Chain A
Amino acid sequence: MSLPTQTFTITRADLVAYAGASGDHNPIHQDESVALSVGLPGVIAHGMFTMALAARAVEAWFPGAEVVSFGCKFTNPVVVPAEGGVDIEVAGATKEADGLTTVSLTVTCDGQKVLGMPKAVLRG
């Protein structure tokens, strides 16, 4: 079963708030010059921020479901501009087996996949 695609916008202000809430104060998520100095294309979103948005999508599709496992690779950086924001699209498809629902996600930014094999397994 395929699920309705959800869109989220990420801004630099979101990254500042996420740094505070998560404790991840890596300056590559705040400071353009540091990001460029380590070979990144610019300030990038925390991978865990994008993953948190994917988790929000799963929660919206399956409110209250218990998550058994959740994982992904961070395959492409999400570059967040200083002004405005960048959109992330989260699509999903489900398979059920043994009382568990596996949600295979597709998370893209400008049409390019940013997470590798994002997958959540749910119970109930």
Chain B
Amino acid sequence: MDQSLVGKTFPPSRPYAVSEDNIREFVAATGGTYAGGPAPATFPIVLAFDAMNAFLEAEAIDLFRIVHGAQDFAYERPVVPGDVLTATLTVATLRQIAGNDIIGTTSAITDESGALVCSTSATLVHRGADA
């Protein structure tokens, strides 16, 4: 991977319609029960992950070589059922340490009106074949 990736923004993920069923499945998978209302704090990872998958595919990076290094969310408002969201990923930083690529990404998650709902940054550790 080379530095030309830094600053590159990838196409927005396809619109994702948030439903109570999506949220209920996510909450149940993390051992909770959902009684309606806003999605839990880490739910926007569903959007961010979709954008990350497209980025990895575009750059021919194997998902199984990726380990998650960090994740930060800043919320403009909670995600609620009825939202139609897209995520737009930008590569913010790229470093090489001990044969691994350390990729810093930011994803802007916006609603149908284009308003920012959540911005999230991820550090992805791409483990090199010799690491």
Contacts and interface: CB of A to CB of B under 8 A. Distances in A.
B114 interface: no
Interface stretch (A38-46, A91-99, A105-113): A38-46
Contacts of A14: 29, 31
B28 interface: yes
B49 A22 contact: yes
Interface in B40-83: 40-42, 45-46, 49-50, 53, 63-75, 78
B71 A48 contact: yes
A20 B29 contact: yes
- Name the residue in A22, A39, A49, A59 with the highest tally of chain B Cβ atoms < 10 Å from its Cβ: A22
B106 interface: no
A73 B71 CA distance: 6
B74 A51 contact: no
A47 to B, nearest CB: 4
Contact of B70 (A56, A68, A73, A120): A73
Which range contains the number of B residues in contact with the other chain? 20 to 34
Contacts of B25: 20-21
A14 B29 CA distance: 6
Contacts of A24: 45, 49
A71 B72 contact: yes
Nearest to B77: A66
A27 B65 CA distance: 10
Contacts of B73: 67, 69-71
Contacts of A18: 29-30
Contact of B75 (A21, A53, A67, A73): A67
B123 interface: yes
Interface of A: 8, 14, 17-18, 20-28, 34, 37-40, 46-49, 51-53, 55-56, 58-59, 66-74, 77, 116, 120
List of 9 A-B pairs having minimum Cβ-Cβ separation, nearest first: A71-B72, A21-B29, A47-B68, A52-B30, A17-B29, A73-B70, A55-B41, A67-B41, A21-B26
27 contacts: A17-B28, A17-B29, A21-B28, A21-B46, A22-B45, A23-B46, A26-B66, A38-B64, A38-B127, A40-B67, A48-B42, A48-B45, A51-B42, A52-B40, A53-B31, A58-B41, A67-B41, A67-B75, A68-B74, A68-B75, A70-B73, A70-B75, A71-B72, A72-B71, A77-B67, A116-B70, A120-B41
